[in-house]
Amino acid sequence: MHVYQILLSLSVIRYVVADNPTANVSSGTLVGRSVEFSHEDVDITRTLYVFKGIPYAAPPVGDLRFRPPQQVEPWEGVYNATEVGFACVQSISPLYSFGELLNEDCLYLNVFAPVTNSSNLPVMVWIHGGGLIVGSGTNGGLYDGTVLAAIGEVIVVSFNYRLGVFGFFATGDKHAPGNYGLLDQIAALKWVKENIAAFGGDANKVTIFGESAGSISVEHMLLSPMSEGLFHRAIMQSGTSSIFGGPRVDAEGQATLAYGIGNMLGCEQDNTEDLVRCLRTVPTEDFEPILNPEEGMLATIPGIDPDIGINPYAPYFDGQLITVVPSDLRNPGTLNKTGVDILIGANADEGTLLFPYVVPFQFNATEITLSRAVFEQYFSAFMFGSFKSNPTILDAIKLTYVPWEDADSDDANYAEAFSQMQGDHTFVCPSDLSARAYAQSGANVYVYHMTHIPATWLTGLPWTKAGHGEDLPFVFGLHFSPVYTWTMPAEEVAMSRNIIRYWTNFAKTGNPNLPESEANSSLADWPRFEVPGLEYKELSLTMENKRALKARECALWNDFIPKVENREDEETATEPNEGDNGKPPECTAGAIHAAGVTVYCICALLLLPSLLVMPASPEYIL
């Protein structure tokens, strides 16, 4: 029995009377804790009021499963907001096993508010990562907001949202439209807008920020008409909505997946209404085969590609919350929040995230060696998009990344080529696409690229270098954290303080630089990203400014490959089929978008969009 199998009769509302800070919110009175922050490596001592485990929506259980979040019922007395609430039910992963109890009743948030003379502090709302299948708002202290709030003098809010099958199950129609996890995020932002003044926050100065799947979520919030007016700035760390081809678009394929999942859970129905009604009665613990499948089990569900693994719980193009697909970012007028300031970037070695899938897991290695044979074997295995079978495009990718100066040598190491290829394809160049789109729409955009290789790695594996997620200890100031044990050398302590300043300055003003009245020569000015210009900040010990980040590589992924695909699609669409009197093939789905490019002719045997997701494992932290 897993920890999420908790009796729902356990009360999560605890009434207390204590000499601690209180706040009056829309549902009643909260009592939190007073925390004193200080650290020998920072010249700040500050009191914070911390409130944890605040319900921002009704428990999404029973008949509310697979429905949008509902309003919290008001409570009487004082609600004890001193402990985190349940984390959402999720796949079991060692990286996210921080002792937090799991439950479907999980829609809770946390507020870290510095005590100052100001009654209108900027607010930073954190959206956690984890591939939309694991994680929580605090992750056992990794995302504790104490340091950011104390050093940056901002209010930090973190929250849980529904994950996996509970957050993204969809039938492709009105009976289960999906995206409940994203709707939870919108509900949390509405709660902030309505209640943050009770903590000294300014509802008109809200910044959303997230990493990996949290950053993907941030861009969905940026592009969704449903989040209009709920935030004013956005920080995207290693993730965009175009990763893995973007949201699913195939309603028929989504229904096939839904029926397959229903069959696995004993809900064999012949229509989606009855299917969803049945699934709402399935006990939480019976979802175990879906949450933590045995090897190969998900491949038995109709609609799952056994070769690449398709995540059944991805965002779905519902036409209401999600109305934009990745290729739309290339079209002027797509963005509906041009007044939002943007800070966006990725890390220099994002592609090392995939090394455990192509080489034996090497805990003690300091460097990974990848032979040419292994490189060829896995060359396209972790790419999304129909171009995986296009020899012209694959040759162009090899031409760009293969170390040709050593390629003829039997002992040539292809590890860096593989890492950079995958990192650019999945993180760096999608971020470049978004940055250009926002800048050209008139938004205030700042771009970063973290190149510093930390002294200590979140994974504990030195060959990850400046890998996926390695910016998190610097952003959350783990070296200064009162709840998370982490030590940095002196030069990294300074780097972390600078990054905290950049992030919180941006939250305050829309500009990561210090105001002129607080100018600090040790903190180099961060230039605005413009097209042309293409200037960005390198997150390193020296914080240098550079330009044209991966311009050649991103021209390959963002321009050349889509053009080749579109050209071949157009040529195919004009070729007559034999026995069809010279007429082009008839299309039943019209012009839709799939796999990150426009596909103009989708016929009856439409495949599911290629959304590549690795198994839930210690190494996979999207």
pLDDT tens profile 530-559: 999 999 999 999 999 999 999 999 999 999
Q: Among all chains, which residue has been given the structure tokens 């978008």? A: 593
Q: Is 405 a catalytic residue?
A: no
Listed range (220-234, 379-393, 568-582) with the worst mean pLDDT: 568-582
Q: Looking at the chain, how many residues does it have? A: 622
pLDDT mean over 457-484: 92
Distance separating alpha carbons of residues 497 and 176, to the nearest angstrom: 45
> Is 384 strand, coil or helix?
coil
Q: Is 212 a catalytic residue?
A: yes
The residue type found at 218 is V
> What DSSP designation does 27 have?
T
Listed range (171-175, 208-212, 286-290, 567-571) with the worst mean pLDDT: 567-571
Other Cβ atoms closer than 10 A to 36: 11
The catalytic residue among 91, 93, 136, 212 is: 212
Q: Dump pLDDT digits (tens) for 82-107.
A: 999 999 999 876 555 566 789 999 99
pTM of the model: 0.87
Confidence of residue 303 (pLDDT cuts 50, 70, 90): low
Which pLDDT does position 11 carry in this prediction?
A: 33
CB 553 within 8 A of CB 400: yes
Q: Dump pLDDT digits (tens) for 573-616.
A: 555 554 444 333 333 222 222 322 222 222 221 122 222 233 33
Confidence of residue 43 (pLDDT cuts 50, 70, 90): confident
491 phi/psi in degrees, rounded to 5: -65, -30
Percentage of residues in the chain having pLDDT higher than 90: 61
Q: Pick the residue with more confidence: 108 or 288?
A: 108
User: Over 90: is that where the pLDDT of 416 sits?
Assistant: yes
Which pLDDT does position 544 carry in this prediction?
A: 94
User: Over 70: is that where the pLDDT of 469 sits?
Assistant: yes
Distance separating alpha carbons of residues 243 and 557, to the nearest angstrom: 12
CB 45 within 8 A of CB 151: no
Domain 22-240+318-326: what homologous superfamily?
A: Alpha/Beta hydrolase fold, catalytic domain (3.40.50.1820)
User: Over 80: is that where the pLDDT of 337 sits?
Assistant: no
User: Over 80: is that where the pLDDT of 305 sits?
Assistant: no
Which pLDDT does position 581 carry in this prediction?
A: 42
User: Over 70: is that where the pLDDT of 59 sits?
Assistant: yes
Q: Dump pLDDT digits (tens) for 116-150.
A: 888 899 999 999 999 999 999 999 889 999 999 99
512 phi/psi in degrees, rounded to 5: -70, -10
Bin 254: left if φ > 0, else alpha if -120 < ψ < 50, else beta: alpha
Q: Dump pLDDT digits (tens) for 6-33.
A: 333 333 333 333 469 999 999 999 999 9
pLDDT mean over 439-448: 93
pLDDT mean over 468-485: 94
Token output for 148: 């950011």
H/E element, 211:
strand 201-211
pLDDT mean over 372-391: 84
Confidence of residue 348 (pLDDT cuts 50, 70, 90): very high
Q: At a CB cut-off of 8 Å and minimum separation 6, what does 429 contact?
A: 550, 553, 554, 556, 557, 558
Q: Among all chains, which residue has been given the structure tokens 């970012």? A: 329
Distance separating alpha carbons of residues 101 and 98, to the nearest angstrom: 9
Distance separating alpha carbons of residues 586 and 576, to the nearest angstrom: 11
CB 6 within 8 A of CB 86: yes
H-helix segments, 210-348: 213-223, 251-264, 272-279, 288-291
H/E element, 498:
helix 490-509
Distance separating alpha carbons of residues 194 and 192, to the nearest angstrom: 5
Q: Dump pLDDT digits (tens) for 226-270.
A: 999 999 999 999 999 988 777 888 888 889 889 999 999 999 999
H/E element, 547:
strand 545-547
Percentage of residues in the chain having pLDDT higher than 70: 80
Instruction: Render 582-608 in DSSP notation, one character per residue.
Output: TPPPP-SS-SEEETTEEES---TTPPP
Distance separating alpha carbons of residues 233 and 221, to the nearest angstrom: 11
User: Over 50: is that where the pLDDT of 307 sits?
Assistant: no
Radius of gyration of the chain (CA): 24
pLDDT mean over 485-511: 95
> Is 127 strand, coil or helix?
strand
Distance separating alpha carbons of residues 236 and 247, to the nearest angstrom: 18
> Is 347 strand, coil or helix?
strand
User: Over 80: is that where the pLDDT of 385 sits?
Assistant: no
Which pLDDT does position 289 carry in this prediction?
A: 86
Domain ranges of the chain: 22-240+318-326, 251-300
User: Over 80: is that where the pLDDT of 491 sits?
Assistant: yes
> Is 155 strand, coil or helix?
strand
Q: At a CB cut-off of 8 Å and minimum separation 6, what does 50 contact?
A: 32, 33, 34, 35, 110, 111, 112, 113, 146
Confidence of residue 336 (pLDDT cuts 50, 70, 90): low
Among residues 593, 132, 236, the alpha carbon closest in space to that of 385 is found at 593
449 phi/psi in degrees, rounded to 5: -145, 115
Q: Among all chains, which residue has been given the structure tokens 């070695």? A: 349
The catalytic residue among 128, 232, 452, 468 is: 468
Which pLDDT does position 48 carry in this prediction?
A: 96
Which pLDDT does position 618 carry in this prediction?
A: 28
Which pLDDT does position 199 carry in this prediction?
A: 97
The catalytic residue among 350, 538, 565, 619 is: 350
Instruction: Kindly report the average pLDDT of the chain as a whole number.
Output: 83
From residue 13, how far is each of 99, 188, 525, 583 by CA, in Å?
Answer: 20, 19, 48, 66
Q: Is 27 a catalytic residue?
A: no
CB 170 within 8 A of CB 258: yes
